[in-house]
Amino acid sequence: MAIEGEAIPSQLRKGVVELAVLALLHRGEAYGAEIVDRLVRYPGLAISAGTAYPLLNRLKKSGLITSEWQESPVGPPRKYYRLSPAGERAFVSMTKVWTAMSTDMTDLLGKDTTHA
């Protein structure tokens, strides 16, 4: 079942992983390593830290997420990310696009796999 994460063409992954990070932050704030760790649970979405931080940087620059340092009960302080109001709006509209696309893609791909 596991899709080889890195084997998926990067362009396809790029937008989806972006939505995945927004979805994760929609559920609540998280710090960098936490985002990576939580996405690892989804083999299809797993990203390395080397992918996660540039992505967080981009999302932050485009104003979709904000960050704030917080004291950690263990170890050094952590920088937590959360969705900005613009990020919430982007998440909602991207989710709509994703839902429509995913239905269409399932239909489109489904026809092929039944013949395969």
* Contact residue for other proteins among 32, 38, 82, 88 (CB under 8 A): 32
| Signed CA dihedral, 14, 3, 108, 26: sign only | negative
Smallest distance, Å, CB 79 to other proteins? 5
Phi/psi region, residue 28 (left: phi>0; alpha: psi -120 to 50; beta: rest), is left
Name which of 103, 102, 82 is nearest 91 in CA terms: 82
Selected binder of other proteins within 6, 37, 68, 104 (CB under 8 A): 68
Q: Which residues contact 64 (CB under 8 A, 6 or more apart)?
A: 22, 83, 84, 86, 87, 90
CB of 112 to other proteins, least distance (A): 21
Q: Which is nearer to other proteins, 18 or 116 (CB)?
A: 18
Token representation of residue 58:
């981009």
Question: x/- binding map, residues 37-66, to other proteins, per CB under 8 A?
Answer: -----------xxx--xxxxxxxxxx-x--
Residues lying near other proteins in the complex (CB under 8 A): 10-11, 15, 18, 32, 48-50, 53-62, 64, 67-71, 77, 79, 89-90, 93-94, 96-97
